[in-house]
Amino acid sequence: MNEVIQNMLDRHSCRSFTEQPIEKEKIDDLLTAALWAPSGMNCQTWHFTMITNVEKIQKLAAAVRKADNRPENYNFYAPTAFFIVSGERDNRNSFLDGSAALENVLLAATSLGLGSCWINQVRDVCDDPEVRAILTEYGVPESHIVNAAASLGYAAQPATVHERKENLVSIVE
């Protein structure tokens, strides 16, 4: 099978990470993957924030937990890196562009031997005052909404593989 397609098939959500930090070279590769994602009319109106400080990741997780009424153990699965893609509020392509960038990061992570998990809750509460203050402190532009986020790190255990549902494809000839 083609190695790119095989990488897509190998990518699964990781919900348990080790404490091993991700090497700077791999962080740079992940950010390069994000920067080269497609965007509507190539406007590239996104902003990427990569948090590699575990205490700062957990500070954000605690604010999201509070704003979204999550259980006490909610912690983004304790990653060693956390990636946020944000976009201009009034850009109708913002979520689509952000999703493409995040998918590039998730696939790049798999190719680099890293685990990843798409996290939606930051998007849902990005305008909560406490969450917004932390996002602003971390460099997310105030004029942006969070499109998507991901936990990243070395997997502590193999990811669960879920079968694909049936009857999801139509071919018109």
Which residues on adjacent β-strands are paired with residue 145?
Answer: 87
The parts of the chain modelled with pLDDT lower than 50 are none
Collapsing DSSP to helix, strand or coil, 78 comes out as coil
pTM, two decimal places: 0.95
Whether 29 and 43 have beta carbons less than 8 Å apart is answered as no
pLDDT attached to residue 52? 98
CB atoms within 10 A of CB 100: 19
The two beta strands, 144-153 and 81-88, are antiparallel
Paired tokens of 136? 């602003």
Read off the pLDDT of residues 124-151 as tens digits, 9 standing for 90 and up. Answer: 999 999 999 999 999 999 999 999 999 9
